[in-house]
């Protein structure tokens, strides 16, 4: 396999009919999408759309519901790799493959549509080489028969298209999560078998912000982590601060990238348990003191279990 193919394999973009050519932001594409085109809405009637944590924040805010309600009603979970961390995709309208937000007039959540919808027909390839510790963005053009926008008389660069689609904020605020997914993927078995609690925690901290906020407010969290009043106030009121903090917590819990101070007693227990685990060769919840006091139900868990059972029965 060539290096180029390896990079595309590492992309968090789910399987798409991507032309395997990586493009830079200054590459020129020919494309225009508009309401009078004969394929209007065709792309929204056959969806496979992965959501980023920032997509979920925007959409749940727009709909005026909690992240928990949003996940339950509009998404379904998937695993990035077998027994690995989870992601969420749009759940189509029942019995169809149509987006729940598509209407005759177009997208009913247009101003808050997710990253993938904004990028289409460009695919973002967030990639990382094995010998580098930073990610690179490149792009690929997706050409599908149903999309006639490629025949419209308009040429522009990918950077111009990104700007037109309001992608700068989405890229910026989705970047930490994309890096996290790449990190999990490139770490592979090196991070061990992640415990069920870790996987649930990852899911909650990435996608279910309102439930994550409850966790931050919980006694177990207060007992374990040393967060000053100013930051705590931000976490309780500001979704974007909470999003950034969730990334720090995941890195601390799953990759031992410690950036959140722990209280003295909790730190001693943590270090003692870590030493004990190392001696016993364990990689489990005991390394995460605050998790024990928090029961983490996770939407979609039943579906993931059912899918694993199906795979096993095959
Ligand atoms: S969110 Fe909007 S643009 Fe995206 S698939 Fe649904 S209807 Fe189409
Ligand atoms: S199929 Fe292509 S051109 Fe048609 S509405 Fe969707 S993105 Fe626009």
| Average pLDDT over the chain, rounded to an integer | 81
Query: 182 with 175: CB under 8 angstroms?
Result: no
Percent residues over pLDDT 90 in the chain: 55
If one compares 22 and 305, the residue with the highest pLDDT of the two is 22
CB of 101 closer than 6 angstroms to any ligand 1 atom: yes
Place of tokens 């992240």: 67
Between strands 50-51 and 28-30, the pairing is unpaired
pLDDT attached to residue 285: 39
CA distance 260 to 228: 11
pLDDT average, residue stretch 160-171: 96
Distance 44 CA to ligand 2 centre (A): 8
Nearest bound ligand to the CA of residue 55: 1
pTM of the model: 0.81
pLDDT attached to residue 31: 98
- Please tell me the residue having the least CA distance from ligand 2 atom 6: 43
Q: pLDDT category, 313, cuts 50, 70, 90? A: low
Lowest mean pLDDT among 158-172, 214-228, 245-259, 297-311: 297-311
If one compares 129 and 62, the residue with the highest pLDDT of the two is 62
pLDDT attached to residue 12: 41
pLDDT attached to residue 286: 31
Lowest mean pLDDT among 38-52, 139-153, 293-307: 293-307
Nearest to 231 by CA among 241, 222, 239: 241
Pocket test for ligand 2, best of 148, 150, 154, 164 (most atoms within 8 A of CB): 148
- Looking at the predicted structure, is the pLDDT value of residue 4 above 70? no
Q: How many residues can be counted in the chain?
A: 314
Q: Is the peptide bond before 276 cis (omega within 30 degrees of 0)?
A: no
Ligand 2 atom closest to the CA of 152, numbered from 1:
3
- Looking at the predicted structure, is the pLDDT value of residue 309 above 80? no
pLDDT attached to residue 84: 80
Q: Where are the alpha helices (DSSP H) in 148-262?
A: 158-164, 167-187, 196-207, 209-217, 219-224, 229-237, 239-255
CB of 56 closer than 6 angstroms to any ligand 1 atom: no
- Looking at the predicted structure, is the pLDDT value of residue 169 above 90? yes
Return the number of other C-beta atoms located less than 10 Å from residue 71's C-beta: 26
Nearest bound ligand to the CA of residue 32: 2
- Looking at the predicted structure, is the pLDDT value of residue 33 above 80? yes
Q: pLDDT category, 190, cuts 50, 70, 90? A: low
**Which residues, in sequence order, are CB contacts of 242 under 8 Å at separation 6+?**
209, 212, 213, 216, 234, 235
Distance 75 CA to ligand 2 centre (A): 22
Nearest to 298 by CA among 92, 83, 68: 68
If one compares 60 and 85, the residue with the highest pLDDT of the two is 60
Pocket test for ligand 1, best of 70, 92, 108, 113 (most atoms within 8 A of CB): 113
Distance 83 CA to ligand 1 centre (A): 29
- Looking at the predicted structure, is the pLDDT value of residue 65 above 50? yes
CA distance 101 to 230: 38
Q: pLDDT category, 312, cuts 50, 70, 90? A: low
Pocket test for ligand 1, best of 40, 47, 115, 167 (most atoms within 8 A of CB): 47
- Looking at the predicted structure, is the pLDDT value of residue 6 above 80? no
What digits encode the pLDDT tens for the residues 258-306? Answer: 899 988 776 666 666 655 554 454 444 333 333 333 334 444 444 445 5
**What is the secondary structure of 28-85 as a DSSP string?**
EEE----TTSTTTTGGGGS---EE-HHHHHHHHHHHT--HHHHHHHHEEEEESSTTS-
pLDDT attached to residue 170: 95
User: Using a 6 Å CB cutoff, which residues line ligand 2?
Assistant: 33, 37, 39-43, 120, 146-149
Query: 57 with 239: CB under 8 angstroms?
Result: yes
Rounded to 10°, the helix 229-237/209-217 angle is 150
Pocket test for ligand 2, best of 39, 116, 117, 154 (most atoms within 8 A of CB): 39
What digits encode the pLDDT tens for the residues 68-99? Answer: 999 999 999 988 877 788 899 999 999 999 99
């Amino acid at each position: 396999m060539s290096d180029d193919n390896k990079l595309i394999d590492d992309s968090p973009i789910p399987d798409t009919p991507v032309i395997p050519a990586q493009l830079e932001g200054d590459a020129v594409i020919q494309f225009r999408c508009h309401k009078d085109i004969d394929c209007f809405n065709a792309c929204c009637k056959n969806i496979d759309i992965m959501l980023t944590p920032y997509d979920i924040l925007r959409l749940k805010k727009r709909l005026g519901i909690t992240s928990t309600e949003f996940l339950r009603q509009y998404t379904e979970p998937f695993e990035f790799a077998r027994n690995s961390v989870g992601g969420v995709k749009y759940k189509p309208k029942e019995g169809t493959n149509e987006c729940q937000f598509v209407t005759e007039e177009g997208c009913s959540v247009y101003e808050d549509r997710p990253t993938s919808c904004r990028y289409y027909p460009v695919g973002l390839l967030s990639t990382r080489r094995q010998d580098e510790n930073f990610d690179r963005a490149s792009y690929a053009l997706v050409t599908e028969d149903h999309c006639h926008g490629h025949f419209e008389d308009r040429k522009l660069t990918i950077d111009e298209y990104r700007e037109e689609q309001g992608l700068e904020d989405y890229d910026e605020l989705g970047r930490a999560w994309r890096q996290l997914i790449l990190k999990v993927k490139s770490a592979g078995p090196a991070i061990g078998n992640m415990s069920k609690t870790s996987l649930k925690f990852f899911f909650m901290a990435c996608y279910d912000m309102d439930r994550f906020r409850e966790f931050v407010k919980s006694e177990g969290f207060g007992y374990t982590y040393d967060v000053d009043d100013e930051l705590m106030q931000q976490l309780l009121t500001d979704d974007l601060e909470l999003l950034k903090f969730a990334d720090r917590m995941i890195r601390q819990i799953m990759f031992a990238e410690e950036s959140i101070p722990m209280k003295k007693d909790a730190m001693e227990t943590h270090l003692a348990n870590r030493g004990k685990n190392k001696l016993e060769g364990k990689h489990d919840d005991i390394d995460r003191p605050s998790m024990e006091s928090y029961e983490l139900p996770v939407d979609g868990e039943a579906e993931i279990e059912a899918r694993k059972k199906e795979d096993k029965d095959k």
